[in-house]
Amino acid sequence: MTIRLDGQVAIVTGAGQGLGRTHALALAERGAKVLVNDLGGDRDGSGESLETATAVVAEIKSQGGEACANGANVADYDQVQAMVQQALDTWGRVDILINNAGILRDKSFLKMTPEDFRTVIEVHLMGSFLCTKAVWASMREQNYGRIVFTSSSSGLYGNFGQSNYGAAKMGVIGLMNVLHLEGAKYNIHVNALAPAAGTRMTEDIFPAELFDLFAPAAVSPGIVFLSSPEAPSRKILSAGAGSFAVSKLYETEGVNFTPAELTAEAIATAWAEIDNPDGQRELQAGGEQSMKFAHQAATRQGIQID
């Protein structure tokens, strides 16, 4: 099987450097027309310039592809709507959205200011929401869309000094879960990429000897797959150094207590069983948890439910 994206239009945010750049190049190589978005600021979000986006557009065009540059701030809805309109005016549709734009303001929680926390949330989580909101109606109307959020192991598992970044990166997983359900009947598939790559965002995190091993280009084939007609939905694809894995959220079977048994001490006594991974499941919607609890309670109390 060869994945081709001929005739499809992709928007890649934060595509002037690092992962966004290699994502844009990889999509263009497969035939997609790419709107290359980048504010062109520093990694903390300050400053702006269209130079990096324009350079990536030139790269794509030099290889025979179609692309245009855009300098929208993903945290500004008016600019985001204008960005999407630019793609629609240029090519008539948007098939793929890669929410990649991001900034870092790392500090320990003790030193984290509300501004540092809020600004990172605005770019990563609100920016992903605004860009997705701007393409959602047209994707529904055309009965097709592929959306990828960018998560991180910092959100999935935690990373010291990144409470703002980790919160934002776990937030997009919740957004993905809901939009997967809402987009299913419109053939809109929604996934997340959790990348590990050597970029300016991670240059002081990765040891020097590993930096080259984690080349951004080793992650971008995952973006091509998640952008394709063959893409799954509601998956968290972790990627780095040429390795790919799926991260999943499981819930244990747990323990039910009758009203007469229910105390904090009972929970403490049963903790090993509550925490037992045997029989744990990957739930597909929030209502499944409620139904599981309802059946457990009804069974314990002799109540018949359908």
Beta-strand pair 33-37/9-12: parallel
Question: One-letter amino acid identity for 236?
Answer: I
Helical segments of the chain, H only: 18-29, 51-62, 77-91, 114-121, 127-142, 153-156, 163-183, 208-211, 220-226, 264-269, 271-274, 286-301
CA angle 174, 13, 227 (to 5 degrees): 70
**165 part of the active site:** yes
Alpha-carbon span 9 to 128, nearest angstrom: 18
Cα distances (angstroms) measured from residue 273 to each of 73, 249, 288, 289, 302: 48, 19, 20, 18, 22
CA-closest candidate to residue 21, choices 215, 163, 166: 215
CA-closest candidate to residue 235, choices 189, 279, 195: 189
Catalytic residue among 144, 165, 186, 250: 165
- Residues 6+ positions from 111 with CB-CB distance below 8 Å: none
Alpha-carbon span 252 to 277, nearest angstrom: 5
Residues that are catalytic: 165
